[in-house]
Structures are given as structure tokens and as C-alpha cells.
Amino acid sequence: MHAMRISEYGGPEVMIRTELPDPAPRPGEVLVRLGVAGVNYMDVGVRTGPAPGWTIPAIVGVEGMGYVTALGDGVEGFTAGDRVAWYYHRGSYAEQLAIPAESLVRVPENVDDETAAAVMMQGLTANHLTTETHRIRPGDTAVVHAAAGGVGLLLTQLIRARGGIVIGLVSREEKVPVAKEAGADHVIVSSGGGFEERVRDLTGGEGAHVVYDGGGAPTFRSSLSALRRHGVHAFYGPFMGVPSLTPTELPNSVLLSHPLVRDHVPTRTALLTRTAEVFDFVGEGLLRPIIGGRHALADAARAHADLESRRTVGKLLLLP
């Protein structure tokens, strides 16, 4: 099989299409033929590294969907031909993968392959942010960073589905209609900080109930300043840089959260429950990922370059 592997850290060009032995499922594992792999900023962080928990050489990628081809000893509940998806399995930029059965979920018949791959990591992230991090209630105002990106578009849709008001931030003027089409009530063009006064103007001087901040260090302090008293700053962008501060620097008695999707699905039961919630939103037409680009697996470097350019919208996918 072929996989996109790195042996050194660096730019997109360090991902090399490499021929490797076909994997064999060990006990408790399922052999999967890749159907679609999702591209995430996490992958960029791994490539530019070092990233926590990763060592090189390594196959990049964590998310995707595929088709069951064989079962390891002791695996129950899956059969050959099943369509399955996963939100986190290291080495997902590969034509074949041996994945622990407990990490897989079946894809419903009414969810197509590309949608399944597009809503695993980012859909679960958006679900986590709008439920356990800050449960959106009707009338809540939420600021969504990168509102035309993969997570941002799904976040916007889930906030609106739950009755919230969305102030979207986008980096370029041409992304404004994309964010509005997803449901953003207001859209601000901002490639860094400095948006807090505009947020306050749009909220009658109060500030937002929650800021979903995947922008990293450059946007951190403006996000804090855009919150009302006891607002929630959901900071989920560590691969974009981590700021330093002391607790006494937090304004307005705000709550600072660093949500990790793994805490949304810490058990097999939680994984099945939460992915079912996401797939239900898809089935009801309330969650519609926008596919911003499709690349061959061998062209993963192009996908990474596009993602880092900030010119893309929606989700980028790799096809074997």
C-alpha cells in the first residue's frame, strides 16, 4: 500500500508518498480500505512538529472513512463491506489502515462517504463546543472564528440550529457570503485581533456569551475582550500558537476553556452517542459540510499548502 509519510519536520513537501507493507489487523482491530481522509490543522501541526504524542517517521492524518475488509480476532459488530468512520487514528493518510474496532462507527445509509469523513473530527468538535463547552441556548450570541472554515461552518450551523445568534469572523472579503449562507447573522472581516469593538457594537455594548476561538495566539486577547461578564472563551487553536497570561488578566469574570474533542467522546458509548447526534443533524438537513477541495492522497502536500494559505473554505478531503 501507499501512504503519505514524513521523516523530517518542515513544509508540505516533506510528506512523501511511500510504499509500505500492507497492514494486518491484530486482535481487536479492523482492517479498513480508505475511502476518504479528512485534512485538519492538526495534520499541519504534526508535519511541522514536534507534536505531542507523535514521533517521526510517521504517517500523517487522523480522520476518515472507509470500508471494512477484514477483522482481527475477537472483533464483533462489524462485517466485511461495512462503511465505517473515525475521528482520530494516527496515520490516516494511507490506503489501508488497521484501526481498533472501538474507534470506529458505522456510517448511516443516508450519509454519503465525503460527508461522513467531513463531519467526524470537525463535526464532533462543533458538537462539543456547542453542548458541553458552552451549551447554546436560544438568544445566545456566539462569535465564531474562521467562520468559513471547516469547523466554523459546522459551528455556525449548529449554533443556529440551537437558536443562537452568530457573529462570524473571516479572513477575506470573498468569504463573507460563504459564512452568511451557512447562517451567520453578522460577518466581520478580520485576519487577527481588533474585532472586539465591532462585537460590542453588535451586542449593544454587552459582548458575546461565548467566543469559539480557533485562531491561536494572534486572536486570543481580542476574544477575551469581546466577551460579556461571565462569558466563555473556548480556545481550541493550540496549533496556531498558545498565549501566556495569568488568571488575574482574565476580564469580566470570564470562563476560559481549552476544549478537547477526546473529552467529548471519552468512552465507546459516548462516541456512539455523539456521532449519532452529528449524523442526525446531517440527516435532518441542519448540518451540511461544504467541501472546499478534493485532492488525491498523493497530492496531500497541495492540500496542506491550500489550507495554510487561508484561501480555502470548508473542508478539504483526500481521495485514494
pLDDT score at 252? 87
pLDDT digits (tens, 9 = 90+) for 9-35: 999 999 999 999 999 999 999 999 999
**Cβ distance 313 to 178 under 8 Å?**
yes
Residue 247 pLDDT > 90, yes or no? no
Q: Does residue 100 sit in the same domain as residue 141?
A: no
pLDDT band (50, 70, 90) for residue 265: very high
Instruction: Tell me whether residue 19 is in a domain.
Output: yes
pLDDT at 277 over 90: yes
Sorted by sequence, the CB contacts under 8 Å of residue 201 that are 6+ apart come out as none
199 and 102 share one domain: no
Kindly report the CATH number assigned to the domain that includes residue 15: 3.90.180.10
Total domains present in the chain: 2
Q: Does 273 map to a domain?
A: no
Residue 274 inside a domain? The answer is no
Of 83-87, 211-215, 292-296, minimum mean pLDDT range: 211-215
193 and 303 in a single domain? The answer is no
Q: List 63's β-bridge partners, or say none.
A: 38
pLDDT 10s digits, 88-145 = 999 999 999 999 999 999 999 999 999 999 999 999 999 999 999 999 999 999 999 9
Q: How confident is the model at residue 241 (pLDDT cuts 50, 70, 90)?
A: low
- Is 143 found in the same domain as 77? no
Please give the span between the terminal C-alpha atoms of the chain, in angstroms, as a whole number.
11
User: 106 with 205, same domain?
Assistant: no
Contacts of 55 (CB under 8 A, 6+ apart): none
pLDDT at 191: 80
Please tell me the distance from the alpha carbon of residue 35 to that of residue 60, in angstroms, as a whole number: 16
In three-state secondary structure terms, 211 is strand
Over 80: is that where the pLDDT of 245 sits? no
pLDDT of residue 238: 61
Is residue 306 one of the residues assigned to a domain?
yes
Domain-embedded: residue 155: yes
CA atoms within 13 A on the CB side of 28: 3
CA 112 to each of CA 38, 130, 158, 170, 297: distance values in angstroms, whole numbers, following the listed order: 14, 24, 19, 28, 19
Confidence at residue 281, expressed as pLDDT on a 0 to 100 scale: 96
Do residues 48 and 173 share a domain? no
The answer on 130 and 102 residing in a single domain is no
pLDDT in tens, 150-177: 899 999 999 999 999 999 999 899 999 9
* Site of grid cell 507534536: 51
**SS3 of 87-153:** CCCCCCCECEEEEEHHHCEECCCCCCHHHHHHCCHHHHHHHHHHHHHCCCCCCCEEEECCCCEHHHH
In this structure, the answer to whether residues 44 and 136 fall within a common structural domain is no
Q: Are residues 129 and 203 in the same domain?
A: yes
Confirm whether 283 is domain-assigned: no
Does residue 232 belong to any structural domain of this protein?
yes
Q: Are 37 and 64 in a shared domain?
A: yes
Q: Are residues 161 and 244 in the same domain?
A: yes
What's the CATH number where 170 sits?
A: 3.40.50.720
The pLDDT tens digits for 195-215 are 999 999 999 999 999 999 987
- 61 has a pLDDT exceeding 80: yes
Domain boundary among 262, 280, 311: 262
pTM across the whole model: 0.92
- 277 within a domain of the structure (yes/no): no
Domain membership of residue 131 as a residue range: 123-262
Based on the fold, state whether residues 131 and 92 are members of the same structural domain: no
